Amino acid sequence: MAGGKMKKDKQKGPRAPSNHYQGGVTFHKSKGQHILKNPLLVDAIVQKAGIKPTDTILEIGPGTGNLTKKLLEAGKMVIAVELDPRMVLELQRRFQGTPFSNRLKVIQGDVLKTDLPYFDICVANIPYQISSPLTFKLLFHQPAFRCAIIMFQREFAMRLVAQPGDNLYCRLSVNTQFYARVFHLLKVGKNNFRPPPKVDSSVVRIEPRKPRPEVNHKEWDGFIRICFIRKNKTLGSIFKQKNVLSLLEKNYKTLQALQGSQNVSLSGNDDMEIARLGDESMEMDDGMDDDMDMECDEAEGEGEVSEFKNKVISVLKEGKFEEQRASKLSQESFLTLLSMFNKAGIHFS
């Protein structure tokens, strides 16, 4: 047009589909389906796993099999657990008629509800919403495996490896490192996946401790759960809270009654019905709830101080833990304090 600029009509092509495809399979972000597309990253994960030719490998969330192929090349057998029936069919189609077909076993189902067979190594690119329960399912799997190489959301991974004094050090850090040695291996950008997730990821190596620590895991978890009610408060202030003292005193009296009438020992009795603070299992700990939404009234100003409260505080003072904070305590310190409480007849499960 004279005196102006001619606008070119934009060619409107078909709108890009909201889901992503590979081999005709649609990936759903809502289901946590993010497939590794970077072959160099796949190779790096396999190399970090240290797979032996005699190894049986458990792969969780194989998707369309990009990582599965490399695992089959490196090990003796791959057991792949996949929830999505479409992915199961794609895996079977991909390896049917190949030399790998007899060395791949595909289990369709929810890995959290599946009885896992024997394996030497676990490799997993998982939906991030199952990170915590899957981690503890693996840690309590018997017989113990050599290591697990798992892709986690980056913040979750950094909580796993956090050390005392780190900002991300939490109940998840303590529980995981109590049962395993944990190493951060790789930071993985979101663009290495199809479709890309909203956050970056990290690859972590988990090696179960052998032998497993000889501690009643319900007792340990109940104790750690209380210590991390407010991880930056002193243990003295936490153990003076009304709800904490009430719970521990109830356990104390119940155990005294049981031991007096039946000579029951707590240490080997996982089935005893004892009160606990918080939810039921460490398997559901995502590390995000260190500052639980709980009443924090201290049992102060109530007139006569209870004999049981004196008993609890005397344990803390004896071990010089009264002014310590959970956010800065090591595994050894937690074990020492738990042992002191138990010797005083104070239990947490």
Binding-site annotation: residue ranges for S-adenosyl-L-methionine = 34, 36, 61, 82, 110, 125
Phi, psi of 169 (to 5 degrees): -65, 125
Question: What's the first-to-final CA gap in the chain, in angstroms?
Answer: 83
Distance, CA of 313 to CA of 297 (rounded, Å): 16
Task: Write the CB contacts of 5 (distance below 8 Å, at least 6 apart in sequence).
Answer: none
Task: Write the CB contacts of 255 (distance below 8 Å, at least 6 apart in sequence).
Answer: 264, 266, 274, 345, 347
Beta bridge partners of residue 21, listed in sequence order? 26
Q: Strands of the chain (E only): list them.
A: 20-22, 25-27, 35-36, 56-60, 77-82, 104-108, 121-125, 147-153, 180-188, 193-194, 201-208
> Is 299 strand, coil or helix?
coil
DSSP per-residue letters across 61-82: --TTSHHHHHHHHHSSEEEEEE
The one-letter amino acid code at 311 reads K
Binding-site members are: 34, 36, 61, 82, 110, 125
Beta bridge partners of residue 105, listed in sequence order? 79
Residue 160 contacts residue 182 (beta carbons within 8 Å): yes
Could you tell me the CA-to-CA distances from 3 to 6, 223, 232 in Å, in that order? 10, 80, 70
Distance, CA of 81 to CA of 63 (rounded, Å): 10
Residue 201 contacts residue 151 (beta carbons within 8 Å): yes
Distance, CA of 237 to CA of 259 (rounded, Å): 30
Distance, CA of 133 to CA of 124 (rounded, Å): 14
Distance, CA of 254 to CA of 279 (rounded, Å): 20
